[in-house]
Amino acid sequence: MKNKIIVTGGASFIGSEFVRQIIKRGFKIIVIDKLTYAGDLARLGEVKGKIEFYKADISCASAIGKIFKKEKPKQIVHFAAESHVDRSILSSDEFIRTNIQGTQVLLDAAKLSGIEKFVHISTDEVYGDIEEGQFCETTPLKPSSPYSASKAAADLLVGSYVRTFKFPAVIVRPSNNYGQWQYPEKFIPVIIYKALKGQRIPVYGKGLNVREWLHVSDCAGAIGEILKKGKIGEIYNVGSGNERKNIDVARAIIDFLGKPHSLIEFVQDRPGHDLRYSLNFSKIKKEIGWQAEYNFDCGIKDTIGWYKDNFNWLEKKAEYLRGYWKKVYV
Ligand code: NAD
Ligand code: TDX
């Protein structure tokens, strides 16, 4: 019998890439996704008819309990979340409900059904920011935004289940992802969209904040390896070493598209804006034998190509974002 796996948030940017990759390993995949503004079944078009899909809210214990009872999965990879920092600053309600309560509901459902492995997708943002040096898996958590605080709370909850119930969980902390199908509220697709349209490109503050960019295919590949080889109770950072200042990312994309740098507009900074993230990912390299393959320039070039080829999708999402953009870019 095929290995049955539940993927929460399978219609997300990273979750859908994970599904596209893992299906090739012969898994029977069950996706649970609420299809919020950020979820989109179009991302799963390639695997349509080959997976089971449940539209459900992970914070609803009865709905989740029923799915687990019916499907009896062996493993679960938990991506579902409210994922955008700026939205968590506008309102944190959904972040608490989905990221904390939703994780608790899944932990209890998985515990009851005797799951073999629970891979919890966290983020590098739980560590806060760092001016110099790098975050290790043992660095204390010091989240800055309501988003990262909700993710940190979920990590602590997962850790408590490991210790108290010997629950078979593994935590994954990836750095900033980019690539195909990313919702254009995030920085890289914002730049691509605005540049393609010849519109002003909003860069927060002076654009000096640094992010470590990881291609979504590399991230999903790392999670697949962790699912296979990750040790129960362990935490794995997933980074790329591709650190860039925001302003340099904006300029690189503008240059690729042959547009003028004058499109860049410095706007009001994000409150509590983390200055720099940088992950030490020697643990996953040493213990799992994984490392990122994408070179940032090639990854960006591919990503721009993808958005050009899928411009209708991008434009449709941007239409929906217009009201939101009025609230965040001041
Ligand atoms: P996304 O914003 O693209 O999608 C989130 C998904 O979760 C959507 O499909 C949405 O419908 C679903 N969802 C939201 N609330 C739900 C609920 N209550 N019940 C069921 N489904 C729900 O997400 P993403 O950017 O692909 O991120 C996936 C995961 O990876 C998240 O846990 C995020 O915190 C983490 N992460 C993301 C990044 C990044 O750069 N995007 C980096 C590190 C970690
Ligand atoms: O319009 C913008 N202008 C701008 O200057 C946007 C949307 C962002 N920025 C800056 C803020 C950050 O310094 O660009 C950087 C990247 O911003 P986001 O794409 O919003 O990502 P970030 O806040 O770094 O968080 C991301 O990485 C970690 C994901 O959204 C999280 O889900 C993940 O956990």
Could you tell me the two tokens for 196?
């393609």
pLDDT at 1 over 70: no
147 is catalytic: yes
What are the beta bridge partners of residue 52? 30
CA–centroid distance, 192 to ligand 2, in Å, is 14
Q: Write out residues with Cβ below 6 Å of ligand 1.
A: 9, 11-15, 33-36, 38-39, 57-59, 79-83, 98, 102, 121, 123, 151, 174, 176-177, 183
Pairing assessment for the beta strands 214-215 and 75-78 based on DSSP bridges: unpaired
Q: Which atom of ligand 2 is the closest one to the Cα of 329?
A: 1
Reported as a single tens digit per residue, the pLDDT across 221-235 is 999 999 999 999 999
The model's pLDDT over 158-209, given as tens digits with 9 standing for 90+, comes to 999 999 999 999 999 999 999 999 999 999 999 999 999 999 999 999 999 9
Label residue 291 exposed, middle or buried (CB < 10 Å: 0-12, 13-18, 19+): middle
Buried b (16+ CB within 10 A) or exposed e, 102-124: bbbbbbbbbbebebebbbbbbbb
Position 329 scores a pLDDT of 86
Known catalytic residue: 137?
A: no
Residue from 17, 33, 40, 125 carrying the catalytic annotation: 125
pLDDT in tens, 129-144: 999 999 999 999 999 9
pLDDT, one tens digit per residue, over 253-281 is 999 999 999 999 999 999 999 999 999 99
Active site residue: 147, 193, 204, 307, which one? 147
Convert the pLDDT of each residue in 23-46 to its tens digit: 999 999 999 999 999 999 999 999
Q: What is the rounded CA–CA span in Å between residue 245 and residue 281?
A: 20
pLDDT of residue 98: 98
CA triplet 279, 146, 90: central angle to 5 degrees? 125
Please confirm, yes or no, whether 54 is among the known catalytic residues.
no
- Separation of 197 CA from ligand 1 center, angstroms? 27
* Verdict on whether the full-model pTM lies above 0.95: yes
